Structure 1
Amino acid sequence: MKTSHRTLAAALAVLATAALTSCGSGAEPAADGTVTLTFMTGSDQSTVDTSKALADAFMKANPRIKIEVENQPGGGEGDNVVKTRLSTGEMTDVFWYNSGSLLQALNPAQTLVDLTGDPVLANVQPEYLPVVTQGGKVYGVPATTLAGGGILYNRKVYEQLKLEVPKTWAEFMANNEKIKAAGITPVIGTFKDTWTSQIFVLADFHNVRAAVPNFARDYTAGKAKFATTPAAAGGFRHLADVHAKDYLNEGFGSATLDQGLKMLVEGKGAHYAMLSGLLPPLLATYPQTATDVGLFGVPGTDAAKHGVTVWEPPAIYIAKTTEKLDAAKKFLAFVASPAGTEAVNTAVQPSGPYRVKGAKLPDDAIQVAKDLQAYIDRGATTPALEFLSPVKGPSLEQITVAVGSGLTKPAEGAAQYDQDVAKQAKQLGLAGW
């Protein structure tokens, strides 16, 4: 998934900086003895706040190292900025980017600093390392918390209508019917920000894996397809179902992420297929977000196998072109430490558990973090497909907008996505395609 990480695009002028060609142990410090690191991060508010908290706390603990933060746009535009600057040698010293399958597209062996066996990774939980590993080498540290992908729901609406958290799709649709009868929008759609349309498909992977345990492996090998695997096509059917029943908000095609989150928190909409990591920035304006919004996994067909799909944290990487390697490693070690997570907690409420040894959720953690922790505690989580397979088509968000708007039938959308991923798999040179 374009993470959580795939957020609102923001204007960014790509800096025309001189290409750096060496990766020494550190550039010469300034006259006053300071070293300045450049740090490219995202533009959504949670990422901005997290990055600032990390930079500020690190500089306080390391007064001779300064960090200059710049923001990149979200979605495909941000991807292009990262790839372009890496390929031209103009990348910042350190940068925030996706973990999982999208890492492979950065050609990390040529563009990133190999951290395999480095003390920088001392506090990183082993479960996280595979999603920042390519060709047996580790390249990044977790930038933030684990996120849940599923259905964010307004708990006050559920309390008012005496609804139970659904564990099957039939139960979910029954809840939607009662919510609609009460004059409340059952399902929020925000297709103006096209990436948000993908969540019903991507967050359904827990159900796919429960039905077809080897799907990720066979999919990577070109043997399993979305269109010919009923469980995998389920997410496309979900999009079509909520549209066909007229459960979406009026104007869903032009609604934005910010508008959708506001509808959810205010109880004007009951359900929003979304990532938990986008909630913390709402707390300043809508403190009730902490208690009034919960999370449940996309319901499937088997209540006994109900669970949630999780997104591993994005990572912070070091560009191979840095001339300040020692300072960059020191910053990454701080990010992946209990001190780093505590610094973030003071600025951003965690929306899920950290992948850092010794880090804990605060006692006043928001409800979605507690809900996600409960799924983890009972072993009812599955990593999103992008963390198990390098195959991820670039056109999914356009396909899901069309399916979710009733313009494309779900079976046709699944087949279109199979064609989309085939192009990417061939570009990666994967066997079986």
Structure 2
Amino acid sequence: MKLLKIGAALLLTAAPAFAQSEVELFHDKGFWSTQLQAVGDACAASAGVKIVERPYANAEQYKAFIQAGIASNSPPNMFTWWTGSTFNELVGTGQIAPLTDVWAEMTGDKRFQPGAADLFKVDGVPYGVPMVMARWVALYDKRVFKELGLNEPTTWDELMADAEAIKASGKTPFLATTQEGWRGFIWFQELMLRTNPEAYNGLSDGSVAYDSEPVRAVFKMWSDMAAKGYFSDPRSTEEVNDFVRGKGAIYLIGEWAVGLVTAAGFPAEELGVFIMPNAAGVEKPAVIVEGGPIVVSTAGAADEATMKALRCWVSNDGANAWGKASGNYIGNDAADAPNAIVAEVNADIAAGGHAAYLRWWEAVPPALQGEIVAEFNRFLLDPTMETADSVMANVQALNAEYWASAQ
């Protein structure tokens, strides 16, 4: 009789483990490991499938891991990637599953706007769902603006006037660093879009040269701003903490940084946001969008647990868990806005009708990303026009060589 009781107890204890599936999500976003696992645990409770996050140390190691899986016809069932040219290359391997049916569900019940799928399409077919749908915006310290009597700028001239007032008060207007090696493109892309959106697009397909007059005008503007002392120390390796410490009043970054800066101690109620204004002569409001996708392999699409995990990610429960844990928005408008910043950006875009432009990192061919960013970083560390001329020449040589071989 005692043996029977013990056996029954063991069965009861073991039952949940067999009732729940586990699906691994591979990624290179180690700074979000805890937050990703919060979504995985939420899906275990709401959908009966636990997402287990599997981080890689950096983007290059991660790319090598995924590319090795592609080469051996055995990529992970579910993993994160990037949109743009590198996404097109991944889909071109034939080992990534189309997600037309999943998107039909996502838009059919009005969780997602139909246009949200566009960032994840190749030849009109969606191959990913959003891990993030981040707009690149200017976070700012409301306390500094209030102290100096400043308003959110709506024109470029107003932005420069705000920067001058901040500098005159003894503070640094803009935070900008070369931390982790990839950030050098941030101000380049923003200045390029604000001064010449057509040229901005042309850089991604080789039709505009990196030593052309529109690009030179951007470097001149960038250099002048640096000469006026508008930028923080580019050598810092503590960018988020620098913003919290007041080493820059305005922080140009993706919305995904909201959770990072508040977790680092920035008071949420003192955090403001505006979309960068255009320079004179550029009429249409615009915003840069970073759409980080989650994809499934063809093998993953045939696995019931993997598809259940993917559907949980884009569900209201999944979006709310991710938003609460990380502050990230994935485009699910039926879920709660993850924070006041995202809600404000949503409202500003709805009111302004901003055109969406793909982030430079995703738009440029993957083979050019690293070397060009290294050149941009070189300019950040020595923002003179002499350096700019050298940077433009080197970048255009790389650009010309790539497009000549791509013909």
Q: Contact 1:341 / 1:359 at 8 angstroms: preserved in 2?
A: yes
1: distance between equivalents of 2:90 and 2:103? 24
Q: Does 1:279 align with 2:264?
A: no
Q: Contact 1:196 / 1:274 at 8 angstroms: preserved in 2?
A: no
Partner of 1:245: 228
Q: What secondary structure does 1:373 align onto?
A: helix
Q: Contact 1:280 / 1:348 at 8 angstroms: preserved in 2?
A: yes
Q: Does 1:72 align with 2:56?
A: yes
From 385, 389, 397, the equivalent of 1:419 is 397
Q: Contact 2:30 / 2:56 at 8 angstroms: preserved in 1?
A: no
1: distance between equivalents of 2:150 and 2:263? 28
2: distance between equivalents of 1:238 and 1:150? 19
Q: Does 1:126 align with 2:114?
A: yes
Rate the CA distance shift 1:125–1:80 in 2: closer, same or farther, 3 A.
Answer: farther
Q: Give 1:106 deviation, angstroms.
A: 2.0
* TM-score, with length taken from structure 2: 0.81
Q: Contact 2:91 / 2:122 at 8 angstroms: preserved in 1?
A: no
From 373, 379, 382, the equivalent of 2:347 is 373
1: distance between equivalents of 2:217 and 2:140? 21
Q: Does 1:39 align with 2:25?
A: yes
Q: Deviations over 1:142-192 (max 9, x none)?
A: 113x32224332121111111233344444333333222222122223223
Q: Contact 2:85 / 2:364 at 8 angstroms: preserved in 1?
A: yes
1: distance between equivalents of 2:72 and 2:40? 26
Q: What secondary structure does 2:249 align onto?
A: strand
Q: Contact 2:172 / 2:229 at 8 angstroms: preserved in 1?
A: no
Q: Does 1:311 align with 2:298?
A: no
Rate the CA distance shift 1:172–1:62 in 2: closer, same or farther, 3 A.
Answer: closer
Rate the CA distance shift 1:85–1:175 in 2: closer, same or farther, 3 A.
Answer: same
Q: Give 1:361 deviation, angstroms.
A: 1.8
Amino acid at match of 1:281: L
Q: Does 1:188 align with 2:175?
A: yes
Say how many residue pairs are matched. 384
Q: Does 1:410 align with 2:359?
A: no
Larger radius of gyration: 2
2: distance between equivalents of 1:266 and 1:314? 29
Partner of 1:82: 66
Q: Deviations over 1:3-32 (max 9, x none)?
A: xxxxxxxxxxxxxxxxxxxxxxxxxxx993
Partner of 2:376: 400
Q: Give 1:140 deviation, angstroms.
A: 0.8
Q: Deviations over 1:88-128 (max 9, x none)?
A: 34533211121233212324442212223456753443212
Q: What secondary structure does 1:309 align onto?
A: strand
How do 1:150-165 and structure 2 match up within 5 A?
Answer: 150-165=137-152
Rate the CA distance shift 1:202–1:82 in 2: closer, same or farther, 3 A.
Answer: farther
Q: Give 1:326 deviation, angstroms.
A: 1.7
2: distance between equivalents of 1:183 and 1:42? 38
Q: Does 1:58 align with 2:37?
A: no
* TM-score, with length taken from structure 1: 0.77
From 135, 141, 144, the equivalent of 2:123 is 135
Q: Contact 1:57 / 1:340 at 8 angstroms: preserved in 2?
A: yes
Amino acid at match of 2:113: Q
Q: What secondary structure does 2:140 align onto?
A: strand
From 113, 116, 124, the equivalent of 2:100 is 116
> Mind listing any 5+ residue stretches in structure 1 that lack a counterpart?
1-29
Q: Deviations over 1:62-81 (max 9, x none)?
A: 33x34332112344443333
Q: Give 1:384 deviation, angstroms.
A: 2.5
Partner of 1:24: none
Q: What secondary structure does 1:248 align onto?
A: coil
From 317, 322, 329, the equivalent of 1:344 is 322
Q: What secondary structure does 1:111 align onto?
A: coil
From 102, 113, 116, the equivalent of 2:86 is 102
Partner of 1:21: none
Q: Deviations over 1:292-341 (max 9, x none)?
A: 23233344422873744232431111123448622111111121222321
1: distance between equivalents of 2:93 and 2:113? 22
Partner of 1:93: 77
Rate the CA distance shift 1:33–1:311 in 2: closer, same or farther, 3 A.
Answer: same
Q: Contact 2:35 / 2:322 at 8 angstroms: preserved in 1?
A: yes
Q: Greater share of helix residues, 1 or 2?
A: 2
Q: Contact 1:203 / 1:297 at 8 angstroms: preserved in 2?
A: no
1: distance between equivalents of 2:213 and 2:274? 24
2: distance between equivalents of 1:220 and 1:384? 10
Amino acid at match of 2:253: M
Identity of aligned residues (%): 20
Partner of 1:266: 245
Partner of 1:355: 331
Amino acid at match of 1:277: W
Q: Contact 2:95 / 2:298 at 8 angstroms: preserved in 1?
A: yes
2: distance between equivalents of 1:31 and 1:249? 51
Q: Give 1:229 deviation, angstroms.
A: 4.7
Q: Contact 2:152 / 2:274 at 8 angstroms: preserved in 1?
A: yes
Rate the CA distance shift 1:291–1:79 in 2: closer, same or farther, 3 A.
Answer: farther
Partner of 2:206: 222
Q: Contact 1:148 / 1:309 at 8 angstroms: preserved in 2?
A: yes
Q: Contact 2:375 / 2:391 at 8 angstroms: preserved in 1?
A: yes
Q: Contact 2:173 / 2:250 at 8 angstroms: preserved in 1?
A: yes
Q: What secondary structure does 1:314 align onto?
A: strand
